[in-house]
Amino acid sequence: MCRVDTDAPSPNEAAETTVEFAGPVSPGATLAPWRRGPLDPTFQITPDRAIWRTSLLASGPVTARITRSGVTAVRVQAWGPGASQFLAEVPALLGADDDWSDFVPTHPVVAEAARRASHLRLGRSGRVLEALIPAVIEQRVPGADAFRAWRVLVSRYGTPAPGPAPTRMRVFPSPEAWRRVPSWEFHRANVDPGRARTIVACAQRADSLERLVTRPPQDARAALTSLPGIGVWTAAEVAQRAFGDADAVSVGDYHVPKMIGWTLVGHAVDDDGMVELLEPMRPHRHRVVRLLYESGLAHEPRRGPRLPVQDIRSL
């Protein structure tokens, strides 16, 4: 449950909303999955701990400034043609619709994580393409390489952020802009032809993809995996962000299965082992992963070298 108070803007001022929750809230924890690296041009955190986020809505681009204004309240300011729509949708983004009253963890580590991170809410953006394209960029590559590619492409093809946004912030490119990215620009960003084709194909289906938010999350995930180049991992990453799907497990992730294994049973497990360990926690399997990370209880000893970056730009 939450309460929203909205102030109508005067000319040249931000539209503003205060979202009040029934308990403690942490917008930083809830919105963390939307940040694609420390230099993400669509998501920045300034020294005053304000979260700045840009988005492209049906009503137009928006820049938002999000701050916690109390233990249970979040203040949101927004600029641009999409400001009113963003403010109407921001409670869902901040997790106002996230209900985990039926979550009763039986594993002692998970129970402790839930106690420590009781402020965590899973947000829902309702923006499928904004979740899908960066997930495709992150397929099968180290995070640093994916974050760089995202930054390069959005900085080049996104539009300037409206309002008083921090320097270098941009708005997610339109589907038409993604469709028009030349193959050599993907190459320069170190995005291989397979991922580039998937991105363009998704942009071509943007309208039908956005309608997936009206379907049950499990059905929407299945629809995503029917597309060429979209597997279970990518669909789960989209469902977590766009649909607020508390059960979407990132099967195929490089880190998550090992973390689950080490944290819950004291040794690494593969995807099948992770699924088996999380099975009793349906329909909150993704929530468990987030709670373990947010609580600080996630454990994964470092072993061996990091994944190498394959630089296709010299090929």
My answer on whether 62 and 166 are in the same domain is no
Examine residue 39 and state whether it is found in any structural domain, yes or no: yes
Domain range for 162: 128-243
Last residue of a domain, one of 218, 243, 268: 243
pTM to 2 decimals?
0.92
29 and 69 fall within a common domain: yes
The percentage of residues in the chain with a pLDDT greater than 70, rounded to a whole number, is 92
> Does residue 123 lie within any of the structural domains?
no
How far apart are the C-alpha atoms of 225 and 240, rounded to whole Å? 15
Q: What is the pLDDT of residues 124-142, one digit of tens each?
A: 999 999 999 999 999 999 9
R_g (Cα) of the chain, nearest Å: 19
pLDDT more than 90, % of the chain:
90
CATH assignment at residue 195: 1.10.340.30
- Three-state DSSP at 43 gives strand
Q: Indicate the residue among 243, 262, 281 that finishes a domain.
A: 243
137 and 230, same domain (yes or no): yes
Both 239 and 132 in a single domain?
Answer: yes
pLDDT per position as a tens digit, 161-176: 999 999 999 999 999 9
Q: Would you say residue 250 lies in a domain?
A: no
Tokens of 240: 């977590």
Write the DSSP symbol of residue 308: P
Q: Confirm whether 73 is domain-assigned.
A: yes
Q: How far is it, in rounded angstroms, from Cα 219 to Cα 129?
A: 17
137 within some domain: yes
Structure tokens at 45: 């955190």
Pairing of strands 170-171, 60-70: unpaired
Same domain, 234 and 133: yes
CATH number at residue 35: 3.30.310
Average pLDDT, the chain: 94
Tens-place pLDDT, residues 48-88 = 999 999 999 999 999 999 999 999 999 999 999 999 999 99
Q: Is the same domain home to 27 and 61?
A: yes
Whether residue 109 lies inside any domain: the answer is no
pLDDT tens per residue, range 8-52: 454 457 999 999 999 999 999 999 999 999 999 999 999 999 999
